[in-house]
Structure formats: C-alpha cells, structure tokens
Amino acid sequence: MNNQIDFYFDIISPFSYIAHKKIQIIKQNKKINFNYKPVFLGGLHKLAEIDAPAFNKFKIKILQSDCELVADKNNIPFIWNSKFPINSLYMMRGYLFVEEKLKELYLDTFYNAYWRDNIDLSDEIELTKILKSLNIDDKKFVEGIKNQLIKDQLKKLTTEAFDRELFGAPTFVANNKIFWGQDRLEYAVDEVSSN
C-alpha cells in the first residue's frame, strides 16, 4: 500500500502556503506520508515557458482575492504580503541547508512570517530575526545558501519537477498521477486513501 504524496512547493507561492496548512490538518487524521519537495518556482516557470500570474497586473488582483477567499473558507490565517513577489531563492536553498529535524519548523516559520504576518523577507534585519528565533547562525546560513551542493540540490529538484511534467506549485504527485493546485489536494488524498 502506497500512502505517499509528493508535495512540490515554494515559500513564495501563496497557494502552497494554503496547501501546507491543509496538509498539517490532514496529517492529524490520516496516515498519509507527505514528501515535501522544495522547488524554485521562478526556475520551474522559466523551464515551462510560463509567465507567472504574479507578474500579470490583471491576474494578480484575482490571485490575491482568490487566496483570501480560499484561506477564509479553510479557516487559515492569511494576509497578502505587501512585498509580493520577492525572490525566494535563498529561502528555498535555506530549507535544503537546515538539518532534517529543523525543516518543518523552518518552513512553518517562514510561511507564517510571509503569508500570515506580512513580513518583508527580503529585508535582512527581518531575516536575521527569524533565523535567531530558529537558533540558526546567520553567518553559517549565508555560507550554506551559497554552497554549490545546496545550489545544485535545488536545481536538481526543480528540474525533476519539470521532468515529471509539473509547471507550478503547489502540485501533488500520488500513484504517479499529477494533481495540480491546492484545489486538488483532496483528490490526491482520495487517490492514496482508496488503495
């Protein structure tokens, strides 16, 4: 029995944040193993020749109201970040850099800071505060995200996503089937639950 769901995400993606919060609830009730797969969404969009909704001045308005609506319906605290979008490369490399046991807390903290508390994560002072709260040495963090192995790892995961024919985040893969967008999380859960 395969109860595994791959979850491709980027911290910059508001619907990935919503999916992450929904997953935390699902995990309390179901024995499903969510395999967190960080990608660099900007890079994935480039590979798939897609203009991100964040860069279309018409689409971004509905993206915002739609996120607010979905978050509200799911009782997920959400504030549209006033500095959206920012470059997520260092945050995503950071996720790969921090040790395994810290990854969930790291992700939660960054997600909450950006999509719940409207913090500008491109501001070094804010970033340093967050790293401190996680007991991460900021100098080591900066070295880590410049490490070639970490860079390569994120590139590899992003390419893997593209090779699996994904083009956005969040995307779920269950039983080799692709479920695209937070709206399909429940379908992915059904897929592995009915095994």
Q: Does 54 bind a second copy (CB under 8 A)?
A: no
- 88-93 — which CB contacts under 8 Å span 24+ positions? 88/10, 88/11, 88/12, 88/40, 88/41, 88/42, 89/40, 89/42, 89/154, 90/145, 91/11, 91/12, 91/121, 92/10, 92/11, 92/38, 92/39, 92/40, 92/154, 93/144, 93/145, 93/150, 93/151, 93/154
Q: Does 68 bind a second copy (CB under 8 A)?
A: no
How many residues bind to a second copy according to rule CB under 8 A? 25
Q: Measure the CA–CA gap between 30 and 161, rounded to whole angstroms.
A: 26
Binders of a second copy in range 129-148 (CB under 8 A)? none
Kindly indicate which of the ranges 1-9, 35-43, 62-70, 116-124 contains the residues binding a second copy, using the contact rule CB under 8 A.
Answer: 62-70
- Which strands sit side by side in the sheet containing 33-38, from one edge to the other? 33-38, 4-9, 171-174, 177-180
Instruction: State which residue, 31 or 58, has the beta carbon closest to a second copy.
Output: 58
Selected from 51, 99, 100, 163, the binder of a second copy by CB under 8 A is 51
Selected from 27, 30, 61, 140, the binder of a second copy by CB under 8 A is 61
Instruction: State which residue, 41 or 145, has the beta carbon closest to a second copy.
Output: 41
Q: Does 163 bind a second copy (CB under 8 A)?
A: no
Binding mask 20-49 for a second copy (x = CB under 8 A): ----------------------------xx
Kindly indicate which of the ranges 1-9, 92-100, 143-151, 171-179 contains the residues binding a second copy, using the contact rule CB under 8 A.
Answer: 171-179
> What's the token pair of residue 29?
């009730």
Nearest distance, CB of residue 135 and a second copy, angstroms: 40
Q: Does 59 bind a second copy (CB under 8 A)?
A: yes
Give the dihedral sign, CA 192/169/67/119.
positive
Selected from 29, 31, 58, 176, the binder of a second copy by CB under 8 A is 58
